[in-house]
Amino acid sequence: MAYRSHKHDINVEDRAGYLELLRTNVNYRRLWFGSSLSLLGDWFNLIALYTLVSTLTGSPLAIGVIFLAKMLPWALAAPVAGLIVDRYNRRRLMIGADLIRSVIVLGFLLIHEAAHVPLIYVLIAAQVVVGSVYVPAKSASIPNITSPRELLTANALSSATWSTMLAVGAALGGFVVEFAGIEAVFILDCLTYLWSAWFVYRTVIPQNTEDADDPLLRTAARKIWDGWAHLRSHPRVARIATAKATWALAGGGLVYMLTLIGEQVSPGAIAAGIGVLFMARGIGTGIGPIIARGLFTNQSNWPVVLGSAIAVSGVAYFAVGLVPWAPEGLALFTVIALVIMAHASSGGNWVLATVLLQKRTDDAYRGRVFATEWLLVMIAESLSIGIASVILELGWLDLAGAVRVFAGAQVAFGLIWLLVVVPKEWRSDAEEQQANRMATPHEDT
């Protein structure tokens, strides 16, 4: 398949359907199949790790460190990962990342007591550093294996699949942990990485690869700086690159606290309680992109949608902080419904920001831009989770109070986006339209 450029936008309404995309685009289908089962294994793994650390330590801070071990190494590796993704063959990088991670996750089988918990953090860090190459490589590859009319559908389907695997993996992960044991989960995760590597191996991914003659370390600093300079010189790209991080400033802490809420709604079966709420998170992030794709067909309105989605997510979580967390009855279903609403909003923010970033960024810089975006997200989430876990460990707020504080902050961040970013987007659109009118020759009538 020839390289497909997205230099020219098309009408968003002229877009491929989901079944059409999977039926006709064999390379996207293979990439989608492989990553889907790999994601399922990852969510199995995560529920097992939350349960294992909670059982061994009983500490909110220890659980928070799991999140930080997933965020901070990624944040540090993301800039170099973006350079690697732009410089080397993305298909081979994804295959290598899958094979390495399949070995790393087997290390969790060595954890049997509280003294081994630091090893969990080391293994998580290793897993996410390798994953920091896979994720931007996949995101940067999607525009290269889809046509312009397939791009939004492909991103919406990828986002919905991530969410579906979260929902299914969290629910099944809780079940497998309770009935088959934590070790079975880690073995399954290993197998899913091997599955993913096989499907990526069979995928053809065209790419404009940079000249790789110079040693990587010699040029790394300059190339990473080029990526940041690209964002500084392209404000329309830089603004959208902050959309997900704006949500994460409070959203990271809220997702972390969702784990602790799961322990309260199911005190006798921690894995099941966490799994149910993460399943609700997955359902929300799954339907959010589908709703956004169907409702918001005018791309010029997307910046408003991005800020509104952040605020709505905060409103829903604030309501979660007001509802009693009972293990049965109407209260539990209300919490589940509110979590779905919160993450439907965040899912819409995620997919629309991704598509805008893909369309506004040149392929030669796309890997670095997506890696930089992930860097911003991970830093924001790490700060949010770190603050939340310390507050709860020291007892400065109870869990319900902390949820309300972070939810209120998220509403504020959404409003700030609407007040600061949206007017700049409107001015950019107006300037672009004026430039287009001036460039169009006028014919005498």
pLDDT at 4 over 90: no
**pLDDT, averaged across the chain:** 85
Q: For the ranges 6-20, 168-182, 334-348, 422-436, which has the lowest average pLDDT? A: 6-20
Q: What is the mean pLDDT of residues 247-266?
A: 91
Query: In this predicted model, which residue has the larger pLDDT, 391 or 288?
Result: 391
Instruction: Show the CA angle centred on residue 252, arms to residues 248 and 256, nearest 5°.
Output: 165
CA separation for the pair 181, 94 (Å, rounded): 30
Query: In this predicted model, which residue has the larger pLDDT, 83 or 36?
Result: 36
Q: What is the mean pLDDT of residues 206-212?
A: 66
Q: What is the pLDDT of residue 363?
A: 78
Q: What is the pLDDT of residue 6?
A: 43
pLDDT at 365 over 60: yes
Q: What is the CATH number of domain 18-205+233-433?
A: 1.20.1250.20
CA separation for the pair 70, 75 (Å, rounded): 9
Q: Is 393 exposed, middle or buried (0-12, 13-18, 19+ CB in 10 A)?
A: middle
Q: What is the mean pLDDT of residues 82-87?
A: 79
CA separation for the pair 48, 42 (Å, rounded): 10
Q: What is the pLDDT of residue 7?
A: 41
Q: What is the pLDDT of residue 5?
A: 42
| pTM for the full predicted model | 0.77
Per the listing, tokens 């460990």 go with: 393
pLDDT at 3 over 50: no
CA separation for the pair 70, 76 (Å, rounded): 11
Measured CA to CA in angstroms, residue 162 lies from 42, 201, 306, 347, 405 at distances of: 10, 21, 19, 10, 28
Residue pLDDT, tens place only, 278-290: 889 888 987 888 8
pLDDT at 150 over 80: yes
Query: In this predicted model, which residue has the larger pLDDT, 193 or 442?
Result: 193
Q: For the ranges 109-113, 188-192, 324-328, 410-414, which has the lowest average pLDDT? A: 324-328
